[in-house]
Structure 1
Amino acid sequence: MSAQQAVQYVRKSDGGLVAFSEKKLLRSLTRSGATAETAGGIITSLRHKIYPGITTREIYDQAFGMLKDITRPAAARYHLKRAILELGPSGFPFEQFIGELFRRQGYQVQTNRIVGGRCVKHEVDVLATAGDDLHFIECKYHQAGITCDVKIALYVHARFQDIAHASDMKIAGKTVGWLITNTRFSSDALQFGKCAGLHLLSWDYPSGKGLKDIIDREQLYPVTCLTTLSHYEKSRLLHLNVVLCSDLLERPDVLKKAEVPQDKVGRVLEETGNLCNKRLRAGVH
């Protein structure tokens, strides 16, 4: 956008207005793996379609559609934030996904455990162990535009304090409390977490070590990223407890159980292999 062009304000998912930034869009596209040439071409195509008040969702949909026609692996990575939202409103698949993230990083993981506290029992979304340390993880799934606020952080911290002080939780190592959300934390929640020693993890927090960074670094993409699958097929896979794309490479037969047409299986596995930078298992066609 040249200096002479008027700034266009676009509407975010929370209803607020923000100045449209070509640099931010370029960064998102290239971060997904699109070449500078591809990203520049998409921005050029979009430039004359931006109008005052257009939603960020509309801009995303148009950019995603063009990127998908050029390179599906990059489109899948660009789709990551939406893919996390597609894990479902119940929050249960998100809990499974977080459990898998910790498991793939070397933790022993259990999900949906009932743990006795000093005062009452608590259901812990994810219980992860590393050496002698116990990590108690509360997962908060939100729709786009909803912030995880300080009231949630206070509530979660109180629960973990009750668990940590229970007589049956005396362990050799530490007890560590986590609050993880797919969206963002309010400034008060971040301040409280730092002060209280509650570990916080969100889409982009901590800086450079947020969910998006962990997923990209470890290539732990959810199946909802895949552009070759329909919404129904993704739902079927989640119902079958298949959360990560890498699971499809290890268990390709599950695609049949998810009712993915046979003539489509090869394309799904090819996209998955490209996304995860892995070769298909020998004998899988």
Structure 2
Amino acid sequence: MGEIYVIKANGEKELFSEDKLRASIKRAGIPDSYSSRLISQIKEVLYPEIPTSIIYKHITNFLYGIPHSSGKYMLKQAIMDFGPSGYPFEKYIARILSYRGYRTEVDVIMQGRCITHEVDIVAENEHGKYLIECKFHNLPGKRTDAKVALYIHSRYEDIMLGEYRHEKRENCKMWLVTNTKCTTDALSYAQCSGMTVYSWGYPTQTSLQHLIEDRKLYPVTCLSTLSKKQKDLLLSNDIVICQDLLHKKEILERLNLSHQERRKVLSETEELVG
């Protein structure tokens, strides 16, 4: 097969990489016995400048035939399914941090020197405090740009001169967490200003994707055994992470599930977090 370029969600062209596809399939925990067959099927449908959304659709259709495999692979889309408000995304990030040992508060009103600010998450651990802005996108291809980084930095500076004026800066950091990628300018500004960024695929070893997969902290929107309406009901009851569902199984009684359907939901949930 000669070189084939694909069209990403943001309109950019990229050379199709079998290694990259294989790595993403492996990261989702797809058994080796299936991965080679899946890759062969994808290569058969490739054509010049094929949209990655078409490749993604072929993959997810294939994975639906493998019990509990589609949820992990569809992680990025599952997070976008939090939309459109973005508030469940804030709660999800707070829950991820809680499971990683942080104490968290969501939607905290803080006084700056000039104005008051609503901070998405204030997190704390033994190393210090963290003022966190969650930038959520529910459309593929959208990137978080430098304007967001500039806003976070200016708000941080106002708070550090206001409510946190007695805090040492080395003990109080600013974070940007986003479910998509950042522009080059946004990352450059973040690095220059001392801002920590967790985005999709960045930093390489500690990206948002890694923070989720490392501890298997998958959102309930990954569950293929539930309808969108049922997932929305869970989110409205602050069940945003699969571990939460296992700790509060009684919520399933409100989803009008049969005994068999309930067993399937719990089986898939346990598989995702196990």
TM-score calculated relative to the size of structure 1: 0.90
Q: Distance in 2 between matches of 1:132 and 1:41?
A: 47
- Indicate the residue corresponding to 2:182 in structure 1: 185
Q: Distance in 1 between matches of 2:93 and 2:128?
A: 18
Deviation at 1:185, TM superposition (A): 1.1
Match of 1:125 among 120, 128, 140: 120
**Equivalent pair of 2:110/2:163 in contact (CA under 8 Å):** no
Deviates more, 1:170-179 or 1:194-203: 170-179
2:258 is equivalent to residue 274 of structure 1: no
2:12 is equivalent to residue 16 of structure 1: yes
**Equivalent pair of 1:132/1:171 in contact (CA under 8 Å):** no
- Indicate the residue corresponding to 2:39 in structure 1: 43
Pairs aligned (count): 272
- Indicate the residue corresponding to 1:105 in structure 2: 100
Match of 1:255 among 241, 252, 257: 252
Deviation at 1:256, TM superposition (A): 2.0
1:185 partner SS = coil
**Equivalent pair of 1:128/1:134 in contact (CA under 8 Å):** yes
Q: Distance in 2 between matches of 1:70 and 1:154?
A: 44
User: Counterparts in 2 of 1:1-285, with a 5 A limit?
Assistant: 5-72=1-68, 74-131=69-126, 133-142=128-137, 143-167=139-163, 169-171=165-167, 174-277=171-274
CA offsets 1:231-252 (integer angstroms, 9 cap, x no match) = 1111111111110001111111
TM-score calculated relative to the size of structure 2: 0.94
Deviation at 1:43, TM superposition (A): 1.2
Q: Distance in 1 between matches of 2:22 and 2:124?
A: 40
Deviation at 1:83, TM superposition (A): 1.0
Counterpart AA for 2:78: A
Mark the runs of 5 or more structure 1 residues left unpaired by the alignment. 278-285
Q: Distance in 2 between matches of 1:260 and 1:67?
A: 24
Q: Alpha carbons of 1:167 and 1:76: their partners in 2 closer, same or farther (altered >3 Å)?
A: closer
Deviation at 1:167, TM superposition (A): 4.6
1:71 partner SS = coil
Deviation at 1:169, TM superposition (A): 4.8
**Equivalent pair of 2:246/2:266 in contact (CA under 8 Å):** yes
Deviation at 1:194, TM superposition (A): 1.1
Deviation at 1:39, TM superposition (A): 0.6
**Equivalent pair of 2:28/2:73 in contact (CA under 8 Å):** yes
2:46 partner SS = coil
Deviates more, 1:112-121 or 1:47-56: 47-56
Deviates more, 1:159-168 or 1:178-187: 159-168
Q: Alpha carbons of 1:30 and 1:157: their partners in 2 closer, same or farther (altered >3 Å)?
A: same
**Equivalent pair of 2:111/2:163 in contact (CA under 8 Å):** no
**Equivalent pair of 1:108/1:130 in contact (CA under 8 Å):** yes
**Equivalent pair of 2:142/2:180 in contact (CA under 8 Å):** yes
Q: Distance in 2 between matches of 1:167 and 1:75?
A: 46
**Equivalent pair of 2:217/2:241 in contact (CA under 8 Å):** yes
Q: Alpha carbons of 1:195 and 1:269: their partners in 2 closer, same or farther (altered >3 Å)?
A: same
Counterpart AA for 1:14: N
2:140 partner SS = coil
